[in-house]
Structure 1
Amino acid sequence: MINIVFPMASEDLFEQGGKKIPLQLFEINGRPLISYIIESFSNVKGIKRFIFIINASHADRFALEKTLKLLCPKKSLVLTVGKTKGALCTVMLAADFIDANELLVVNSDQLILNIDVLLEKFKKSKCEAGVLSFKSTLKRWAYGLIRNEKLLESFVRNPTSSNALAGFFYFKNGIDFLINAKKTIKNSWTTDGLFYVPSVLNQFILDANTINAIKIDEEHILNLYSKDMINKNRKNLSK
């Protein structure tokens, strides 16, 4: 089994049709954005358990919890939380459901194509963790120092290279993730006072773990974090 965690605790709302809604419910071709993200995992082999961690204020007000359960009727959990100190802290609220199985921590506003192929590459390499990188210089992303397809260091919102890290983090063993995440929080490795998942990768590296980095082309990643990006990529999303 593979656990797939979506940290979605942000309080941000986006306007569509005169109403403000969570980005995950933004309508694209008659479907909510999150349905495309979930569908992208359909070709992944084996049992999948989706764990959505959403803002409590969005659960009932926008029926986000019910929508997620309809989209993932089997092997899914929806946890409702308040404001946290960053995405890493949000993920840690699902610690009771993260075990020694493989773990993915995934953004809900970024569509990655051919996930099954990418996961197989990570598994065959026998790495402890894996990341995907693409070209960018925008401050909104985390970045990686990559050499010979290995991540040597990650930097949150600091474009020290053009190797931006996608919001897609693979861990061979969920327990190892929890151990290193706790160390990251204990060491107060924050950016602007918040804890982020890429910082955990540095703890893995300090402990001499191998983190593979796969470079993906622009056509294999659709960024959907704003209305402008959604409109730009709308034609690439099927109904």
Structure 2
Amino acid sequence: MLNIVIPMAGRGSRFAEAGFTDPKPFIPVGDMPMIELVIRNLRPACPHRFIFVCQQSHLERYDFHHRLQTLAPGCEVLGLSGITAGAACSVLMASDLIDNASPLLIANSDQWVDIDIDAFLSVANRPGTDGLIMTMPATDPKWSYVLKDTKERVCRVVEKKVVSNEATTGIYHFQRGSDFCREAQAMIADDERSQGEFYVAPVYTRLYNAGQTAIATYNIGAGMHGLGTPQDLTAFTSGPHFVRAMSRCSKAGLHHGFAPVAAPVLAERVG
């Protein structure tokens, strides 16, 4: 079974500052919550389980657990007591569920990628593959970038520094969840931070150095669309890819959209 971990334990402060009252994962994108768009984008045909890593305060205040179970039946919802030192730390909070031989997919909670996830997974599951990184052409230092060896295997991933023309989209596959857990835990123990945080992508560098070198990229061109800021969201919903995304969701079946609910009202309802 494929474990799909989606860290969503950030503050979402940029949306709050822009006047949004819904928690970021449930901000409407069209007529559905942002996180539903992400779930439908990533839901594969193979047996799988979504694992959401959230702030405990959000679970209690916004009824995240029930809402996520409705969108992804059988999912696991984990609550954190505070902000972690990076995405790798947040994912490791699910180690009891992913530190095993099952494959692991790690993805952002605030983006839409114009791809067929089953096509991506078919490449990831080729015999002998240790990892597959979804990538895109880029030149902006805000992204993470991959470097390859002479055999076109990913040998290093660098955060926030342009070392190639191929950046990561934030979607990462590990053939075994235990590989990620082992190397991420070692990275943290060695205090190997990138820009002061523990990111997911540099775990591949450690994996390569440990001899698990069959790490490839899956370049999707211009197919990554961020939803992480109010500006990103506006650009997406006003562009042509929004229609395509909604069409794909419609073909995937009926969605469980939620009407926007202001935080103070919802907080009163749940206690």
Cα 1:24–1:182 shift into 2, 3 Å: same
In the superposition, the TM-score normalised over structure 2's length comes to 0.81
Aligned length: 236
Contact 1:111 1:221 survives alignment (8 Å): yes
Deviation at 1:136, TM superposition (A): 1.8
SS of the residue corresponding to residue 21 of structure 1 reads coil
Q: Deviations over 1:37-85 (max 9, x none)?
A: 101133x2321111000012222223333221111122x1000102111
Question: Take 1:15 and 1:119, find their aligned partners in 2: how far apart are those partners?
Answer: 35
The answer to whether the Cα contact below 8 Å between 2:159 and 2:195 also exists between their aligned partners in 1 is no
Counterpart for residue 118 of structure 1: 120
| Structure 1 residues 16 and 89: alpha-carbon distance in aligned structure 2, compared to 1, 3 A threshold | closer
CA–CA separation in structure 2 for the residues paired with 1:15 and 1:186: 34
The CA deviation at 1:11 is 1.4
Larger radius of gyration: 2
Residue 55 of structure 1: aligned partner: 55
Q: Determine if the alignment matches structure 1 residue 37 to structure 2 residue 45.
A: no
Letter in 2 for 1:62: Y
CA contact (8 A) 2:135 2:220 kept: yes
Unaligned runs of 5+ in 1: none
- The answer on whether the counterparts of 1:149 and 1:212 sit within 8 Å (CA) in structure 2 is yes
Letter paired with 1:90: S
Paired residue for 1:150? 153
Q: 1:18 to 1:181 in 2, by over 3 A?
A: closer
- Distance in 2, matches of 1:166 and 1:19, equals 25
TM-score by length of 1: 0.91
The answer as to 2:144 corresponding to 1:165 is no
Unaligned runs of 5+ residues in structure 2 are: 251-271
Q: Is the 8 A contact 2:145 2:167 kept in 1?
A: yes
Matches within 5 A, 1:49-128: 49-74=49-74, 76-81=75-80, 82-98=82-98, 99-112=100-113, 113-124=115-126, 126-128=128-130
**Aligned partner letter, 1:187:** D
Name the stretch that deviates more: 195-204 or 139-148: 139-148
Letter in 1 for 2:218: I
Distance 1:30 1:5, change over 3 A: same
Asked if 1 retains the 8 angstrom alpha-carbon contact of 2:18 and 2:230, the reply is no
RMSD: 1.9
Shift of 1:12: 2.2
Which amino acid counterpart does residue 79 of structure 1 have in structure 2?
L
Residue 149 (structure 1) shift: 4.3
